[in-house]
Amino acid sequence: MVKFTADELRRIMDYKHNIRNMSVIAHVDHGKSTLTDSLVAAAGIIAQEVAGDVRMTDTRADEAERGITIKSTGISLYYEMTDESLKRFKGERNGNEYLINLIDSPGHVDFSSEVTAALRITDGALVVVDCVEGVCVQTETVLRQALGERIRPVLTVNKMDRCFLELQVDGEEAYQTFSRVIENANVIMATYEDPLLGDVQVYPEKGTVAFSAGLHGWAFTLTNFAKMYASKFGVDESKMMERLWGENFFDPATKKWTTKNTGSASCKRGFVQFCYEPIKQIINTCMNDQKDKLWPMLTKLGVTMKSEEKDLMGKPLMKRVMQTWLPASTALLEMMIFHLPSPSTAQRYRVENLYEGPLDDQYANAIRNCDPEGPLMLYVSKMIPASDKGRFFAFGRVFAGKVSTGLKVRIMGPNYIPGEKKDLYTKSVQRTVIWMGKRQETVEDVPCGNTVALVGLDQFITKNATLTNEKEVDAHPIRAMKFSVSPVVRVAVQCKVASDLPKLVEGLKRLAKSDPMVVCTIEESGEHIVAGAGELHLEICLKDLQDDFMGGAEIIKSDPVVSFRETVLDRSVRTVMSKSPNKHNRLYMEARPLEEGLAEAIDEGTIGPRDDPKNRSKILSEQYGWDKDLAKKIWCFGPETTGPNMVVDMCKGVQYLNEIKDSVVAGFQWASKEGALSEENMRGICFEVCDVVLHTDAIHRGGGQIIPTARRVFYASQLTAKPRLLEPVYMVEIQAPEQALGGIYSVLNQKRGHVFEEMQRPGTPLYNIKAYLPVIESFGFSSQLRAATSGQAFPQCVFDHWDTMTSDPLEAGSQAAQLVTDIRKRKGLKEQMTPLSEFEDKL
């Protein structure tokens, strides 16, 4: 059954020009996994008959059950091209055999971290778009991610079968829909254009767009048809391709090509005339069981059916016929081989994105040239649970050199700083494995340009890492991945039986490993927290935790908890002062909100503690209207030294000020981590040190005196500057037919959401709605929405921004005050906020 062996695969791995690493990306439910099946079928791993039904890459039980992909799954395919089809291929190649390392990724936004991890280790992306639904929010997100990673995309317009069977649209209308889909995708790609990557837009006439029906396992590119007709019309293949798309019309009556519709009834667009209509005809004949008409047509097309297949009726017959005529694998694989880069091509321009170190050192060069003889550079992008409970495969891509069984590697974790020993381990690879769907095959070694799974390193890698040879001490790590979602939804977990705690601890450790996005931490109150990107994500994580990582030991989870931020609205009403415990030092301070957009700029890293002070002051003065000198007097950022709050020194001529700076900074890190309202992080607050009075004797102004005092004065200035809570807000995108709009609006209203964009998808009855929805209200939102719209609306939520809550938390009985009380109760703090008088002192 299996058409290829691990040995064959291993052999092609050395031909770096004959490798394609690609991921399949798309919006949820646009048919990635189904389409992947057809490709896998072509490689002979599953039977052609069931292709489209098995969803080979959905390896988990819950994936199959829910019908969505949760984890990205890698699969290596072997494909042999015919000489004839490779005739036009201009790039470098080594024989006709190709190795395709394909990664199927989830489409749901909650799992988009998986997509990020998949993109990192691939060079090309097959973007799947539903021909009816068109380009959706997640399509855009993944496209943006892909281009950010310098991944070259090709497009396939999927679910063609819907056009023929469900909607029964005519040729011209279908063409308009398809071209709009392609147009939309191109618009996005053009926005993120990158000079090094060149033109990344896709054109059907260039063969970078395919039309597919994943469910039925067929697909075509214009190349297929061009080949077919080229000989008939006696024109060049490429010329024919151009005619098959765009404003090219053919009138069979006159046998003339025109660039305008002549208006005669028989004049049709090339695409319609030569691609759409024939397919439609075949499908209709099959569906109507007009076998007497069918067989001659098939013979004309050069399609031969097996005798037992001739007995099929209706849909199965149609499926079989189409698969034989236009096999999805041929079209898609050809498209990938022709238009997606090989590792050696891709790494030439990707090296800049990948490597953190100097771009002219030997490691950068090895990556650039995809040099199998160079030093090992391997990026582990995710950990895959192994069948052996509790262990993981480290899944990644070899960018340079070779990784082999028994090789001693240097593991550089995400916190590794070159030259230091932090987050650095040396360990031997126990086994190198390549992934073939549900099976794994052990191989001796894997050269650069390939994906690989490593055994025996899981105890040192949390989520991702860079591996290199043991002796290569001066290698820099490969840049960490940037995720488009953030873990904003949190639940506290505890075990039902207290003595299961060690199991829980072990389980959380494994959970943290198994998913690139999930974060397992511990709260001040001693509760274990699991944070994920969304409700669905968390649900899956907790299920994994309980069933797989804790061996079924029961856990209790709290209701989802959302973390808030504390900010201020205004400048402090007065300069507040706090005295040190010995009453000999006084700190005067004011708080004010940071300028609009500054907090976001700090989040993004445009402004940060590591900047050159001169540059920083330039940005601050030009974009945010700061005083130039003042901008040089920023003492620190916080919390965690990088957060979106800062302390600025405004005092003049204060003695010993330098001495207490460290203590004030320490106090600030502490205070900005636990704000005065509910001990949530602060955000967007600028603290100005107005004046400082210090005791002349150094012993009386030591850390012991200043650190607690600084903390108190920060709190006091926060409380006097109209403190407010910030809540996280999702951007929700909902796609639904017109009649469901009423339900959507009413659910959104109930949930404090507001719609800011409503757009009808041209040519469809579908509406695209974009709305802001507070994260705290989002729990149960999808199910309510489904109920209110009888399942027609499907929301996608992505964290968007922090929104100020208008009510005053200091005013008893207000909504914010209630919220503060709840948070404090949950954290085991005193329910009453500490009053200002505790923080502020009188002179």
Partner 1 sequence: MFLALHIFFKLYSQYNKPHKIKNFKSFGSLFPASLGSIGPSIRLLLQSRGQKLELNPSFRNFFLKPYTNKNSAARNLNSDTRVRVTVKTHLCRKNPNLIGKRSRSSFTLAMDFESNYDIATTADFIRTHKFTRVALQFPDDLLKDSTRVVSVLRKRLRSLRESDTTGSGDEPDIGLFVMADTAYGSCCVDEVGASHINADCVIHYGHTCFSPTTTLPAFFVFGKASIGLADCVESMSQYALTSSKPIMVLYGLEYAHSIQQVRKALLESSTFCTSDPKSEVHFADVPSPYMFPSKDTKKLNDLQEETCGCGDNSSSDGASGAAYSIGGLTWKLLEGQSMEDYSLFWIGHDNSAFANVVLRFNACEIVRYDATKSQMVADLSQQRRILKRRYYLVERAKDANIVGILVGTLGVAGYLHIINQMMGLITAAGKKAYTLVMGKPNPAKLANFPECDVFLYVSCAQTALLDSKDYLAPVITPFEATIAFNRGSQWTGAYVMGFGDLINLPQVQVGNQEEARFSFLKGGYVEDFENQENNVEEEREDLALANATEKALQLRDNCNSIIKGGAKSGAEFFANRTYQGLNIPDDNTTPQSFVIGRKGRAAGYEDENNKH
Footprint of partner 1 (CB under 8 A):
413-415, 419-426, 459-463, 498-499, 501-502, 505, 508-509, 512, 519-528, 580-584, 609-610, 636-637, 640-641, 658-659, 661-663, 665-666, 669-670, 674, 697, 699-700, 702-705, 707-708, 828
- Measured from the CB atom, the residue of 509 and 786 that comes closer to partner 1 is 509
CB-nearer residue toward partner 1: 174 or 508: 508
Q: Of 748, 827, 835, nearest to 795 (Cα)?
A: 748
CB 825, min distance to partner 1, A: 11
- Whichever of 168 and 426 has its CB closer to partner 1, that residue is 426
Q: Which is nearer to partner 1, 265 or 699 (CB)?
A: 699
Is the previous residue joined to 560 through a cis bond, with omega within 30 degrees of 0?
Answer: no
**Shortest Å, Cβ 663 to partner 1:** 7
Q: How far is the CB of 551 from partner 1 (least distance, A)?
A: 16
Cα–Cα dist 245/257, whole Å: 12
Residues with Cβ within 8 Å of 78's Cβ and at least 6 positions away in sequence, in order, are: 3, 4, 8, 9, 12, 43, 97, 98, 99, 100
Minimum gap (Å) between residue 26 Cβ and partner 1? 30
Q: How far apart are CA 737 and CA 739, in angstroms?
A: 6
Question: Residue with structure tokens 């002070």?
Answer: 613
Which one, 402 or 463, has the nearer CB to partner 1?
A: 463
Q: What angle do CA 597, 150, 338 make, to 5 degrees?
A: 150
* Shortest separation between residue 473's beta carbon and partner 1, angstroms: 9
Interhelix angle 703-719/657-673, nearest 10 degrees: 50
Contact 451, 396 (CB under 8 A): yes
CB 730 within 8 A of CB 721: no
Considering only CA atoms, which of 183, 184, 182, 118 is closest in space to residue 151? 118
The distance of closest approach from Cβ of residue 422 to partner 1 in the complex, given in angstroms and rounded to an integer, is 5
Comparing CB distances to partner 1, the nearer of 461 and 467 is: 461
**Smaller CB distance to partner 1: residue 148 or 703?**
703
Pairing of strands 209-213, 218-221: antiparallel
Each as own residue / partner, the long-range contacts of residues 179-182 (CB below 8 Å, 24 or more positions apart, any chain) are 180/134, 180/762, 180/763, 181/129, 181/131, 181/134, 181/135, 181/157, 182/155, 182/157, 182/209
If the CB atoms of residues 318 and 491 are measured against partner 1, the closer one turns out to be 491
Q: Which residue, 287 or 505, has its beta carbon nearer to partner 1?
A: 505
Q: Is residue 517 within 8 Å of residue 578, measured between CB atoms? A: no
For the bound state, the minimum distance from the C-beta of residue 43 to partner 1, rounded and expressed in Å, comes to: 36
- For partner 1, give the closer residue by CB, 167 or 386: 386
Nearest Cα residue to 687 out of 726, 724, 713: 713
Residue 471: DSSP 8-state = T
Shortest reach from residue 518's CB to partner 1, in Å: 9
Nearer of residues 306 and 421 to partner 1, judged by Cβ: 421
Question: Rounded to whole angstroms, how far apart are CA atoms 106 and 132?
Answer: 20
Residue closer to partner 1, measured from CB, 553 or 748: 553
C-alpha separations of 385 from 73, 331, 738 in Å: 12, 33, 43
Q: Which residues contact 184 (CB under 8 A, 6 or more apart)?
A: 134, 135
Kindly state the tokens that stand for 2. Answer: 């299996």
Cβ at position 618, least distance to partner 1 in Å? 18
Q: Are 317 and 289 in contact (CB under 8 A)?
A: yes
Nearest approach in angstroms of CB 275 to partner 1 is 52
Nearest CA to 791 out of 735, 733, 732, 731 is that of 735
d(CA 568, CA 508): 36
Q: In whole angstroms, what is the distance from residue 468 CA to residue 474 CA? A: 10
Q: Sign (positive/negative) of CA torsion 606, 609, 610, 616?
A: positive
Neighbouring residues of 806: CB distance < 8 A, sequence distance ≥ 6 = 724
- CB 428 to partner 1: min, Å: 11
Amino acid at position 511, single letter:
L
Min separation Cβ 582 and partner 1, Å: 3
Closest separation in Å from C-beta 162 to partner 1: 43
- Residue among 16 and 528 whose Cβ is closer to partner 1: 528
Is 502 or 791 the residue whose CB approaches partner 1 more closely? 502
Q: At its nearest, how many Å lie between partner 1 and the CB of residue 520?
A: 6
